[in-house]
Amino acid sequence: MAITLVNPNGLPEIDVYRQVSIATGSKLVFIAGQVAWDVDGVTVGEGDLAAQVEQCYLNIATALAGIGSSFDDVAKLTVYVVDWTPDKMPILMDGITRATAKLGVTPVPPATLLGVAALDVPEHLVEIEATAVIN
């Protein structure tokens, strides 16, 4: 595993991510922002933020597996949510919980959450990109 996740003293401990990611691998992997498309390019969970978050995580896992990697190698996630408001956090967390249960992982790399006006098509509510480090 090329990633060590840390919550340094003096920074708040957040349950769903760590504040710092230390990478010791030799290759950076940049995964394109994943939206809620299935393998055929059909949007999963139209109008359902939790379902779309879940599909984004599953797509990231598929991309990682395709290069012989996993969420253990993710150094950073960036999450873009359309019309973000803090009351959507439980829905976002539900999607993450469902995905991680399916995948059998606990992905807690540093993460950035950004509210955006729109994504590529109106039915996409969330897009998640990942940066990983592999040996």
Question: What are phi and psi for residue 56, nearest 5 degrees?
Answer: -60, -45
- Average pLDDT of the segment spanning 7-26: 86
The C-alpha atoms of residue 83 and residue 51 are separated, in whole angstroms, by 17
30 DSSP β-pair partners = 131
Give tens-digit pLDDT for 27-75: 999 999 999 999 999 999 999 999 999 999 999 999 999 999 999 999 9
- Choose among 126, 105, 123: nearest CA to 33: 126
- Average pLDDT of the segment spanning 9-28: 86
Full-model pTM: 0.90
The C-alpha atoms of residue 32 and residue 53 are separated, in whole angstroms, by 15
Q: What is the pLDDT of residue 13?
A: 87
Looking at the chain, the whole-number percentage of residues with pLDDT higher than 90 is 78
Confidence grade of residue 25 (pLDDT, cut at 50, 70, 90): confident
Q: What is the pLDDT of residue 1?
A: 64
Q: How far is CA 101 from CA 10, 22, 57, 94, 104, in A?
A: 31, 25, 11, 11, 5
